[in-house]
Amino acid sequence: MKDFQIELELRAPRASDGHAVSELIAQCPPLDTNSTYCNLLQCTHFSSTSVAAFKRGELVGFISGYLTPENPENLFIWQVAVGEQARGLGLATRMLKHILARPHCIEVSHMETSITKTNEASWALFEGVARKFDAEINTSIMFDKEQHFQGHHDTETLVRIGPLSQSKQSARPIAVA
């Protein structure tokens, strides 16, 4: 694991990463695949709140997120993708901390995401994040299977974590994007 951490580069994504992001997400079921254009927008418009992880020049992890327009103290995590070769090493948590350490996220007090009932990896990740930040975790229905997806997609549960503990926030490492 130590070798993996040393060889890892975390940085804000760029437009040139868009295609690789699309390929990574396609390899990470149950994530919804988006168009390459959508991933290009994530890598450009949302680069300050997203992160790309590289090992020896290969994309092995990606998180897309954004500050919600109505509440810029709220970071919404759209997708977390970790390639098979990087799973089980704490990369997703490290990427989330990397985003939170950026100056653009200095005022973030809450993190949100949506998770389907059966996505055990995402539940484990975000429950772990709540513990690490000594924060409450609250859930509610965000998008209902029948009402919003006409039965074609599982219900998405909104997961809200926060407030993120001040002591943990001030201990965030300063990251260079």
Within a domain: 175: no
Q: Which residues of the chain have pLDDT under 70?
A: 1-6, 166-177
Within a domain: 176: no
Within a domain: 153: yes
- The residue among 80, 73, 176 whose CA lies nearest residue 125 is 80
Within a domain: 177: no
Domain total for the chain?
Answer: 1
Within a domain: 137: yes
Most distant CA pair in the chain, distance: 47
Within a domain: 146: yes
pTM of model > 0.75? yes
Q: Please give the residue range of the domain that contains residue 162.
A: 2-170
pLDDT tens, residue by residue, 83-99: 999 999 999 999 999 99
What pLDDT is stored for residue 7 in this prediction?
83
Within a domain: 157: yes
Query: From the CB of residue 90, how many other CB atoms can be counted at a distance below 10 Å?
Result: 16
What pLDDT is stored for residue 2 in this prediction?
54
- The residue among 9, 39, 43, 1 whose CA lies nearest residue 22 is 39
b/e per residue, 156-169, with b = 16+ CB within 10 A?
Answer: bbebbbbebeeeeb
CATH of the domain at 99: 3.40.630.30
Q: Using DSSP, state whether 116 is helix, strand or coil.
A: strand
What pLDDT is stored for residue 168 in this prediction?
42
What pLDDT is stored for residue 165 in this prediction?
72
